[in-house]
Amino acid sequence: MTAPVCRPATKADIPLLQEAEALCFPRDPWSLAQLASHMDSAVGRAWIIEAEGALCAYLLASVIPPEGEVFRIATLPLYRQKGYARRLLSAFLADLPLCYLEVRASNLAARRLYESLGFIQTGVRPDYYQNPTEDACLYKKNDDTHIRL
Ligand SMILES: CC(C)(COP(=O)(O)OP(=O)(O)OC[C@H]1O[C@@H](n2cnc3c(N)ncnc32)[C@H](O)[C@@H]1OP(=O)(O)O)[C@@H](O)C(=O)NCCC(=O)NCCS
């Protein structure tokens, strides 16, 4: 297998991203229209890791400097636990002083990923998610090394 490549997603990737959403977030996948709207947004960011033409992992986020917010990060089941999500999120965080995200309380894999990259839990939003109803854990990463005095 050729080395996986990390690159910004384009509108041509939207159909594959939608298929990935259906696989990775079967309870609430983003639609084609939502993905298109995200890609059109001036603050929207979308990155993918692909290998041999296959979409392996992706990240959907927004940036309003100096802050970022992660909406989605997912690795296709076949490619999990190979470091792809860590690579995507690390690259997104590289020049970002402040980043927020929220995640289902039961999503331990994602929470471990976030905590391993320095995210701190700042709160809980009770019953935030539906289908099934579940709390959201709010996370923040504040990289003091970016502060310019
Ligand atoms: C969460 C998810 C993105 C992790 O992707 P991944 O590419 O497999 O993760 P990585 O291989 O980069 O792992 C990075 C770290 O995440 C944590 N992690 C990943 N999978 C884990 C698992 N099954 N159980 C526990 N921790 C896990 C570990 O801390 C891991 O570091 P380590 O390998 O040093 O132990 C993936 O499981 C996924 O796509 N889940 C479905 C979508 C989702 O829930 N996304 C998050 C909410 S938006």
Q: How many domains are there within the chain?
A: 1
Give which of 11, 24, 28, 58 is closest to 136, Cα–Cα: 28
Q: With a cut of 70, which residues of the chain have pLDDT below it?
A: 1, 145-149
Q: Domain residues for 30? A: 5-146
How many Å apart are CA 68 and CA 96, to the nearest integer? 7
What is the domain-level CATH number for residue 129? Answer: 3.40.630.30
pLDDT number for residue 117: 97
Ligand 1 atom closest to 81 (CA)? 11
Annotated catalytic residue 102? yes
CB atoms within 10 A of CB 57: 27
Q: Considering the candidates 84, 102, 129, 139, report the single residue annotated as catalytic.
A: 102
pLDDT number for residue 145: 58
111 lines ligand 1 (CB under 6 A): no
Work out the burial of residue 69: count CB atoms within 10 Å of its CB; fewer than 13 is exposed, 13-18 middle, 19 or more buried: middle
- pTM for the full model? 0.95
DSSP calls for 35-63: HHHHHHSTTEEEEEEEETTEEEEEEEEEE
pLDDT number for residue 2: 81
Is residue 77 within 8 A of residue 23, CB to CB? The reply is yes
pLDDT number for residue 104: 97
pLDDT number for residue 146: 55
